[in-house]
Amino acid sequence: MNAVVNERVVSARDLRKTYKNKVALDGASFEIEAGRIVGLIGPNGAGKTTALKAILGLTSFQGDLQVLGRDPRQQRNALMNDVCFIADVAVLPRWLKVGEAIDFVAGVHPRFDRVKCERFLANTQLNPKLRVRELSKGMIVQLHLALVMAIDARLLVLDEPTLGLDILYRKQFYQRLLEDYFDEQKTIIVTTHQVEEIEHILTDVMFIRDGRIVLGTDMEHLASRFTELLVTADRLDEAHALAPIDVRALPFGKTVLLYDSVPRDQLAALGETRTPGLADLFVAIMKETYA
């Protein structure tokens, strides 16, 4: 495996940011290595977008942050040569022509490969003279993918990239990104509320709440650390004695309990065990926020 995989792409220590009386980042610390696909997941107002803005050099902050070995506050212009940012692929100016979108990206990003972009578009129904208002949602996704895949960026940042798209186009976007763009030389950070749809492509996950990272781990460790237990009423007291972090009732007298770092074989003696889905784990950890 190429040595670049072990390179630290993002290193954040005690990031703090306040907007007037609102604390957006409250001592957030995390690290991201190269060749990873990281999901940054949190409720509205948790600090996701502010963290991304800090990484991209779009906001001031306190603390230490290195992105690809650079401080985004002082070296943003150099950093942007190696970074690509996409937010909400469903929103483009309706008057914009496909060819104009290509011209714009070619003019602002030094690592944009026009030939590669046009080669990708040749396999679609997109015509350079078409305007965004004439495109279907699927075609808009294809346009964004062509622009992204033609940029040889080391770090790709996606902030709610599929907002407003239906499930078919959301799945298409992530699948093409995974198959045609991602490799061990590239790193992707993505925020989304459709947790279930990106779970299968993530290598790492970070849960952010109230401006702090409350969980940061790779997906393999997540599966070994957390366990769901399905029990019937006659074993419920024993299950409660093992200190679950979340409990939810099911029909017919059954209960699902979620555990952190309790041996799975110990839990299996009480009922059926399984690895929790990322969405269920997120809700359990964030329940106080939503309450």
- CATH number of the domain enclosing 275: 3.30.70
Q: Are the CB atoms for 191 and 214 separated by under 8 Å?
A: no
Residues 104 and 196 in one domain: yes
Residues 112 and 77 in one domain: yes
Residues 202 and 230 in one domain: no
Domain tally, the chain: 2
Single residue among 210, 238, 256 that ends a domain in this structure: 210
d(CA 174, CA 194): 12
Inside any domain, residue 265: yes
Residues 99 and 236 in one domain: no
Residues 165 and 254 in one domain: no
d(CA 105, CA 151): 9
Inside any domain, residue 215: no
Residue 138, domain extent: 3-210
> What tokens appear for 263 in the block?
């041996």
Q: Are the CB atoms for 13 and 29 separated by under 8 Å?
A: yes
Q: pTM for the complete prediction?
A: 0.87
CATH number at residue 119: 3.40.50.300
Q: Are the CB atoms for 282 and 243 separated by under 8 Å?
A: no
Q: In a structure prediction context, what are the per-residue pLDDT tens digits for the chain, which is 291 residues long? A: 344 446 899 999 999 999 988 999 999 999 999 999 999 999 888 999 999 999 999 999 999 999 999 999 999 989 988 998 887 665 778 899 999 999 998 998 888 999 999 888 888 889 999 999 999 878 888 888 888 889 889 999 998 888 777 888 888 888 888 888 888 889 999 998 888 888 999 999 999 999 999 999 999 999 999 999 999 999 999 999 999 999 999 998 899 999 999 999 999 999 999 999 999 999 998 886 654
CA dist 78 → 70, 82, 103, 143 (Å): 8, 8, 21, 26
